[in-house]
Amino acid sequence: DAGVIQSPRHEVTEMGQEVTLRCKPISGHNSLFWYRQTMMRGLELLIYFNNNVPIDDSGMPEDRFSAKMPNASFSTLKIQPSEPRDSAVYFCASSPGGGGTGELFFGEGSRLTVL
Amino acid sequence: AQRVTQPEKLLSVFKGAPVELKCNYSYSGSPELFWYVQYSRQRLQLLLRHISRESIKGFTADLNKGETSFHLKKPFAQEEDSAMYYCASRGSARQLTFGSGTQLTVLP
């Protein structure tokens, strides 16, 4: 298994543009998480899904952010419109779910720069 | 709400010296505690979990409920230990809450 796959690895865009980040979790994992990493705040949980259903989106900064998981093998995080303060590394992670060991398997991250 | 505090953003030690990365948590119940590590150009990965009481790469961490701490320790630091370390907790909600991270640099 190639692990959690994220795309794009790097994205540079201008303020006001729409940004879509993609994630393919590990096959068989029931839980999927989106995190944002910044120097100031470290890793912040944005939203997590269990069996494709959003369970907790309280970490989503504002209405400009939205996330979907149309099926067990794909999720998107969308920012519209993007702002410079959204610049960060966005991580997707998956886990087997049902509680489990608590181990998350992370993707390599998508580094977003909004000019 | 859960909160995980890592008071040091940066920590530098010399090779062979002991190292301790601090972590404090706030949770009224019985949380599960974890340490994750991110080496340069690698994915964030699990280092150890308190429930396993294991030593990984010479690192140990003891849960101290009285002090609500879960500090990560290693008696003799190595250069390859240089990385970003995140402490995390998991409560009844089942998702992980991470601290802000500590960048450890082991100097030669």
Mutate to test the interface with A, among B6, B45, B92, B100 (most CBs of A within 10 A): B100
Give the residue numbers in B contacting A (CB under 8 Å), as ranges.
6, 32, 34, 36, 43-46, 49, 86, 90, 93-101
Whether B8 contacts B22, CB under 8 Å: yes
Residues 6+ apart with CB under 8 A from B1: none
Residue of B nearest to A94 (CA): B95
Whether A62 contacts A86, CB under 8 Å: no
pLDDT digits (tens, 9 = 90+) for B35-94: 999 999 899 999 998 877 788 899 999 888 888 999 999 999 999 999 999 999 987 667
Tell me: pLDDT of A99 over 70: no
Q: Which residue has the tokens 């690698």?
A: B42
The secondary structure element, H or E, covering residue A49 is strand A42-50
Q: How far is CA B10 from CA A75, A82, B7, B61, in A?
A: 34, 30, 9, 19
pLDDT digits (tens, 9 = 90+) for A56-73: 888 898 899 999 999 999
Hey, what amino acid is at B72?
A: L
